[in-house]
Amino acid sequence: MPSEGLTSEPSLQWQDENGVPHQLALTDKIFLGRVCRGIERDKCILVRNPMVSRDHAVVRLTRQGVEITDMSKNGTWINDVRMAPGASRRLEDGDRITLGGTSIHISCPDLAAREEEENWMEQTAIRPSAVCITSLVADVRGFSAFSQKTDSALVYTLIKEIFSRFSTIVNEHQGTVKDYAGDAVFAFWEHPEGFSADQPLAACQAAISQLHSVPEIHRQLTDRGFLIPPPVLGWGLTTGQATLSHYGSRSAGLALVGDCINLAFRLSSMANKTLPAPIVLCRETASRVIQKLPLMDLGDQEIRGRTGQEHLFGIQPA
């Protein structure tokens, strides 16, 4: 909205299905969901939509400001960017939360407040949906050998630093971190209305930023007394259609299934290894960024586990 004449205190503002504006003061926590069972009426916003979870998300005041935690099955969007399942993120004044077609606007002047933790579970009808996405997979080279001869605490420290920095970069480029799979980070950019160039370009820029961050990660760990060789990674980026749904009953069970995702993992294993580029793109991704980024043509390549060949392209940042 926001509506005129509403208080400047922290609040959530929205319109119901009849277009009537509402405001709810944020003094502690506000629950968003289809049912919010056991929650006082002035502490929740109900969205009567079958795609909204019974307990979908919670907005709370913390020491850092206003924060939202996703607890949903079908996803929560902040300013049209999907949150990672089960994740929390800081909200700024004017941000827009979207769930089940309802938009909720945030009014949150900078105020110190208490921090609380709450976990919820829900049973919600799930409908698989076809989505257009650009996938990014960043894979650490030689991880098995490194783990075999390195103390597990040091392995954990390295992977934690990489995952943390890479996740921040994905968020900065409006992407969603889907999984941390062993030594790989899997993120995706959802195309809201069919395929466009914006999401592939953002994903490529995120991969370039991640590549540039690796020497700094190594330097910081070395400065802290961790003696490790410089990490080497490979990136695979693909664009295509996938099916989005859930496995099991956990919120974190968001499933993305599609050939383009499998291909992204394959390309990440070839980048900086059998192919002379740290960042490798499929033809579909390359076609959408070739006017914006300098690409190298890697030609037709056989991909392990796949029939036929794929025409690939690479990015070799300066």
Report pLDDT digits (tens) over 10-47.
899 999 888 899 999 998 899 999 999 888 888 999 99
Highest mean pLDDT pick, 61-70, 98-107, 250-259: 98-107
Residue 122: its pLDDT value, please? Answer: 41
Beta strand pairing status for 129-140 and 176-181? unpaired
What's the CATH number where 220 sits?
3.30.70.1230
* C-alpha separations of 197 from 25, 204, 241 in Å: 39, 11, 15
* C-alpha separations of 274 from 25, 204, 268 in Å: 57, 20, 10
Distance of alpha carbon 105 from its chain centroid, rounded? 21
| Nearest to 166, CA basis, from 176, 153, 156, 155 | 176
Q: What is the DSSP letter of 79?
A: T
Is 135 domain-assigned? Answer: yes
222's tokens: 């070395």
Residue 31: its pLDDT value, please? Answer: 95
Residue 148: its pLDDT value, please? Answer: 81
Would you tell me the crossing angle of helices 198-223 and 152-172 to the nearest 10 degrees?
A: 140
Q: Which domain holds residue 301?
A: 129-315
Do 160 and 38 reside in the same domain of the chain? no
Total count of domains within the chain: 2
Do 200 and 100 reside in the same domain of the chain? no
Q: Between 235 and 196, where is the model more confident?
A: 235
Residue 178: its pLDDT value, please? Answer: 85
What mean pLDDT is reported for the chain?
Answer: 86
249-270 pLDDT per residue, tens: 344 456 788 999 999 999 999 9
Do 136 and 102 reside in the same domain of the chain? no
Report whether pLDDT(312) > 90.
yes
What is d(CA 118, CA 122) in angstroms, rounded to the nearest whole number? 13
Is 119 domain-assigned? Answer: no
Q: Residue 245, Cβ neighbours under 10 Å: how many?
A: 15
Per-residue confidence at 121, pLDDT binned at 50, 70, 90? very low
Residue 233 DSSP SS3:
strand
Is 138 domain-assigned? Answer: yes
Question: Length of the chain in residues, anyone?
Answer: 318
Residue 125: its pLDDT value, please? Answer: 54
Is 115 domain-assigned? Answer: no
Do 82 and 189 reside in the same domain of the chain? no
Per-residue confidence at 292, pLDDT binned at 50, 70, 90? very high
Do 163 and 300 reside in the same domain of the chain? yes
Do 294 and 145 reside in the same domain of the chain? yes
Do 84 and 137 reside in the same domain of the chain? no
| Nearest to 267, CA basis, from 239, 287, 245, 289 | 239
Q: What is the DSSP letter of 3?
A: P
What is d(CA 27, CA 93) in angstroms, rounded to the nearest whole number? 15
Report whether pLDDT(131) > 80.
yes
- Report how far apart the first and last C-alpha atoms of the chain are (Å, whole number): 44
Report whether pLDDT(246) > 70.
no
Distance of alpha carbon 268 from its chain centroid, rounded? 18
Is 1 domain-assigned? Answer: no
Q: Residue 3, Cβ neighbours under 10 Å: how many?
A: 11
